[in-house]
Structure 1
């Protein structure tokens, strides 16, 4: 293509993919002027005008307005600034569409009503401050005069949802479900009842005490990961490595409550693990109750925060393995 050659509007239309009427429209609107005109009044364009028309088509495809394009061509706005502005617009539209998708998917699953449409749109567009207030109201009601160890509800309260600035559809759907649950009296009552029954009496009450709870979720969690890894590897419970791990766990557990582990205490701990194994094998009701109450809260919070918890795939077999390793270490 010759830089100095002038091309009729039909050729320009074929080169740019614009219609002849669109090129005339941009010319009449003052966005791009023809380079020349024939004696018969036909418009002519050089390669620079064709390049600008191709850019105009691209920008229009990105929903840039004629005023935006005119300002850029006139030098009032740089191409970079124009593109940055429209990138921000497209990203905002993408977030809005993602939110709508989450609402629609939830409504389709639930067979939603008109009232639910309004509610779910409100939940998705809820400001951060209102989300925080909803979570605080939930824990305030759940924890009011709850007969559990001091500070326990406050520790549970720290595990809360934090919806990111640019959430995925899955995070939005999880937030919709959680927010709907948090607002419901039935869910609040069910969580309160579960926590009272589980952590208001022995042995849960002892587990909920600050030293033991901190051990379970800090030092105990570290050695627990090693124990799970050893179990998954097929290591025999009576092996020296398995005994070393459970002894470390027993020692750290005893230190957390100001005691010292002995062979007798490891035997008692083994009995406790076997009791937990038996409960897990025979009492599916409590597991289902957890999954429907506090467990559901925690799983949704994990999805919203982008940190889904690892599933407990081992089940009661792991507790039996730990008990066997503890008894081997106590001999």
Structure 2
């Protein structure tokens, strides 16, 4: 028997302006399950359920993804962070649409001002898109030229320069043909790489790498192999959803940080870890984070690297917190 304080799926759909099919889908994916069922197995929703359904409908209207909504409702993502992420996503979409509209308007003007056939007009549109979307080699040349101009890699042997660009070339500069959204990200990334402030941030962030290069404990190719092993282990941790404080993640964090230690520094692992981890964490600026975000837009597959670095950073914070607490308790 249905309580007067509950509503059928049809009543719920009507009250929030949705459809039975949509509400049933939210149940199937476990985004929002009904509080109870009738003896016949029909879904029943409470007033609290209706409020959540209306919230979900509102967030979907604002273009939040199902996963974003799930994270927000569960509390995994804070409201301010969720709003900031969605604002940024929509701003990217607006920029992408404006870029596409500009191309279409130029093509329309070309068509109206010339006596070209359809083939020529279509080639003109293709040319416009190609002029905005640089291929992989052009993008690599741009980045390489900017690095040379900044002199960040001055004095770095060629084999270590290849190591420096390894993840960038392998995971970011992978797509050959950029979409409109990716072109917008590439344009912003070019501005960022041309910014002296970002280049200074990059030099400071990569100082441990440059210091290690001048006193290498391993060969450049071995360094790349070890970094790839770190990437594989962090990717596994992300897939298994292991927390930053888990033994597996902490083992990766330890190995990652100690890769930068010289043979002398390895003698006191704790002291080196404290100094190195704090430096790494403090050298990550908003410009560095923005660069990483743009890279994931240029090639979504690069998120395995960016997310892996974030997990390592969280792991460092956890370990430093533990070391600080142990030190305090010993006093």
**Would you say same fold, with TM above 0.5?**
no
| Bigger CA radius of gyration | 1
